[in-house]
Amino acid sequence: MAERIVVLQKGVLVVTGGSRGIGAATAELAARDGWSVVVNYRADEQAAHAVVDRICADGGKAVAVRGDVADTGNVRRLFAEADALGTIGGLVNNAGIVDRRQRVDEMSPERLERMMRVNVIGSMLCAQEAVRRMSTRHGGNGGAIVNLSSVAAVLGAPGQYVDYAVSKGAIDTFTTGLGREVAGEGIRVNAVRPGIIDTEIHASGGEPERVAQMRSVLPMKREGSAGEVAAAIVWLLSEGASYVTGAILDVSGGR
Ligand code: NAP
C-alpha cells in the first residue's frame, strides 16, 4: 500500500516583501511545507495577490496584507491581520531595498535614512511584533525568525551602495544579538546571506543588466535563483534546523 504523505499544518508565517523575488519564492515554498502564509507587500497589490492565488491553487493557505515595514503603524496592523489567521510561529524579514550606484560622499541624508529605515528598522519592528507573540516569556509557543542579509555585508559594496551593505551588516549583528537574547524563550533567529540572485531588485537599483554582467566573475559562473534562497530560508524555519540559532548562512554560490 502506498504510504500516505500527511502535510502537518504549521503556524502562521509572516513574509515581508512577499510579492516578488525571494519573498514570493519563500511564501510559496513555505506554504507547501505546511505554513499558513501572510504575504506582505508595499505597493504591488496585483503581484501579491498572484502569489496568494498560486498558493491557494496549490492547496495552501495565504492572505496578502499591504504595509510598509518602515512604518510602525503599518507593522502593527500587519501583525494584527496575521493574528486573525492563527498563531504566528514564524517571520521572514525579507523586505529590502537598494538604491542607485553612488559613492558615500554623494549620498543624500534622505537616502541614508530611507535605507536604514526600511532595511534595518523595518526588520527590527517586525521582529519586535513577532517576539511579543512567539516568546514563551510572553506566553507564546516559540517560533523562528529568518532575516535577509547579503554578501554585501561582508564585501562592503564600494562605489556601488555602501549604505545598503551597512544596513545588511546591521542585520547580521541583529541576528546574532536577538538570536542570543531569545534563545531561551523558544525562538530561533537566523539569517541568510544571498549572493547575486536573479530578481527585480537590480533593476530597481537602476541596473537591470547587473546579473548578466556579473555572471562570468561569480565562482559558480552563474547567479542564484530565488528558489535556491527560499529553500535555505524554509529549512531554517523548519524543525530540521531545531538546534540552529544565531547562524548566518551564505547562499551565494561561493562568492
Ligand atoms: P525584490 O525583487 O526587489 O522584492 C522586494 C520585495 O520587498 C517586494 O515584494 C516589495 O514589495 C517589498 N518591499 C520593498 N520595500 C518594502 C517596504 N518598505 N515594506 C514592505 N515591503 C517592501 O527583492 P529581492 O531581490 O527578492 O530581495 C529580497 C531580500 O533579499 C532583500 O532584503 C534584499 O536586500 C535581499 N538580497 C537580495 C539579493 C539579490 O541579488 N536579489 C542579494 C542579497 C540580498 P512591492 O513590490 O510591493 O514594493
245: CA distance to ligand 1 center in Å? 23
Ligand 1 atom closest to Cα of 168? Answer: 34
Grid coordinates of 208: 537591470
pLDDT digits (tens, 9 = 90+) for 59-117: 999 999 999 999 999 999 999 999 999 999 999 999 999 999 999 999 999 999 999 99
What does residue 197 show for φ and ψ, rounded to 5 degrees? -115, 140
Residue 5 lies in a domain: no
Taking each helix axis from N to C end, the angle separating 122-134 and 162-182, rounded to the nearest 10 degrees, works out to 10
Domain that holds residue 113: 12-251
Residue 166, in any domain of the structure: yes
According to the model, what pLDDT value does residue 1 have? 47
| Cβ atoms of 119 and 165 closer than 8 Å | no
- Ligand 1 binding pocket includes 224 (Cβ within 6 Å): no
Ligand 1 close to Cβ of residue 194 (< 6 A): yes
Report angle CA 208, 209, 213 to the nearest 5 degrees: 150
We report the CATH number of the domain holding residue 240 as: 3.40.50.720
In this prediction, residue 175 carries a pLDDT of 99
Share of the chain above pLDDT 90, in %: 96
Find residue 37's DSSP bridge partners: 13, 62
* Residues paired with residue 187 on neighbouring β-strands, in sequence order: 143
Terminal-residue alpha carbon distance, the chain = 46
How much is the average pLDDT of 134-152?
98
Q: How far is CA 183 from the centre of its chain?
A: 20
Mutation choice for ligand 1 from 42, 46, 151, CB with most ligand atoms inside 8 A: 42
Closest CA to 52 of 36, 64, 65, 68: 64
Q: What pLDDT digit, counting tens, does each position of 195-238 carry?
A: 999 999 999 999 999 999 999 999 999 999 999 999 999 999 99
6 CA from centroid of ligand 1 (Å) = 32
Minimum-distance ligand 1 atom for the alpha carbon of 68: 19
Q: Establish if 58 belongs to a structural domain.
A: yes
Could you tell me the distance, in angstroms and rounded to a whole number, from the CA of residue 11 to the centre of ligand 1?
Answer: 24
42 Cβ closer than 6 Å to some ligand 1 atom: yes
Measure 21 CA to ligand 1 centroid, in angstroms: 7
4 falls within a domain: no
Whether residue 1 lies inside any domain: the answer is no
Instruction: Report DSSP state, residue 240.
Output: G
How many structural domains does the chain have? 1
Residue 172 lies in a domain: yes
The CB density around residue 47, as the number of other CB atoms within 10 Å, is 17
Helical axes 72-83 vs 122-134, angle rounded to 10°: 30
> Do the strands 248-251 and 36-41 form a parallel or antiparallel pair, or are they unpaired?
unpaired
The answer to the question of residue 60 being in a domain is yes
Instruction: Supply the residues annotated as catalytic.
Output: 164
pLDDT at position 3: 52
Is residue 3 domain-resident?
A: no
234 Cβ closer than 6 Å to some ligand 1 atom: no
- Which of 249, 107, 73 lies closest to 171, judged by CA? 249
Ligand 1 site, residue 28, Cβ cutoff 6 A: no
| Percentage of residues in the chain having pLDDT higher than 70 | 97
C-alpha cell at 178: 536577538
**Cα–Cα distance, 204 to 97 (Å, whole number):** 8
Confidence at residue 9, expressed as pLDDT on a 0 to 100 scale: 74
